[in-house]
Amino acid sequence: NAGVTQTPKFRILKIGQSMTLQCAQDMNHNYMYWYRQDPGMGLKLIYYSVGAGITDKGEVPNGYNVSRSTTEDFPLRLELAAPSQTSVYFCASSYYQQGGQPQHFGDGTRLSIL
Amino acid sequence: SQELEQSPQSLIVQEGKNLTINCTSSKTLYGLYWYKQKYGEGLIFLMMLQKGGEEKSHEKITAKLDEKKQQSSLHITASQPSHAGIYLCGADMVAGNQFYFGTGTSLTVIP
């Protein structure tokens, strides 16, 4: 079972470049999430989606955009990369949030902005 | 501000010792989740607690949620090197639609 798949695993960007982090899940989960993890800071929610066509901001949405055209895919877009966006990015999915269902995580994308 | 406070930040224990990690919120939690993260990898779900006073165990790991549903503890009995990693608590609040994580506890088990 693939679960949650994130690509790429590593990426180095120059300041001002743009890129899309891909996330796909094959569990037919309706909720999907994007987090960033900085050293010593735990995970911060960037954006989440409760279903295809519906997205909402999390704690730290500035500098990012998302879309959810299908149940399976939830890409995260960085338009103008900044050094502050250097982090490890995790995508997660679950059946629904406040129903006692745990989130399933991908292996992460390690992004460096130089 | 941090919605979930986790302590301690790091732990170094001798193999065979017991240890406890705490997770505290100022708000009532709808659900409390414990995850483990091996260094450089994604998060693995350990346990979920929803009811006040609930306690769950899996192998040598026990998680508890207090009656007020604002504090949880994770207890490891007779720690082993395989327990090493970062333990994170996560929770969704009664009010709101977001999910929050604690800052994590880094556990090192010395053989």
Instruction: Report if residue A21 sits inside a domain.
Output: yes
Residue A1: band (very low, low, confident or very high) from pLDDT cuts 50, 70, 90: low
Chain A contact present for B92, CB below 8 A: yes
Whole-number pLDDT of residue B22: 97
Paired sense of beta strands B105-110 and B10-14, if any: parallel
Does A110 map to a domain?
no
For residue A90, what are the CA distances in angstroms to A6, A52, A113?
8, 19, 17
> A97 pLDDT exceeds 70?
no
CATH code, A44: 2.60.40.10
pLDDT (mean) for A85-104: 85
Contact B99 A48 (CB under 8 A): yes
How many domains does chain A fold into? 1
Q: Do A43 and B90 touch (CB under 8 A)?
A: yes
Q: Inspect the interface and report whether the beta carbons of B45 and A40 lie closer than 8 Å.
A: no
| Interface contacts (A, B; CB < 8 Å) | 60
Rg of chain A (C-alpha set): 13
Rounded to a whole number, what is the distance in angstroms from the first to the last CA of chain A?
A: 35
B51 vs B40: CA distance, rounded Å = 32
Domain presence at residue A63: yes
Weakest mean pLDDT among A17-26, A99-108, B22-31? A99-108
Q: If you search the block for the tokens 């609040």, which residue do you land on? A: B93
- Residue A94 Cα, gap to closest chain B Cα (Å): 12
Residue B61 CA, distance from chain mean position: 10
In a domain, A54, yes or no: yes
C-alpha–C-alpha distance, residues A17 and A8, integer Å: 16
Tens of pLDDT along B54-102?
999 989 999 999 989 899 999 999 999 999 999 999 998 766 667 889 9
Ordered by where they begin, the domains of chain B are 4-104 (2.60.40.10)
A31-35, A95-99, B42-46, B48-52: segment of lowest average pLDDT: A95-99
Cα separation, A57 vs A63, whole angstroms: 11
Assigned domain for A66 exists: yes
CA A17 to chain centre: 18
Name the residue among A42, A50, A98 with its Cβ closest to that of B30.
Answer: A98
The residues that bridge with B100 in the sheet, in sequence order, are B91
Whether chain A has a CB inside 8 Å of the CB on B1: the answer is no
**Domain span including residue A22:** 4-99
Does A67 reside within a domain?
Answer: yes
Q: Is A107 part of any domain? A: no
What pLDDT sits at residue B24? 95
Dihedrals φ, ψ of A88, to 5°?
Answer: -105, 130
pLDDT band, residue A55 (cuts 50/70/90): very high
Q: Tell me what the mean pLDDT of segment A91-107 comes to.
A: 83
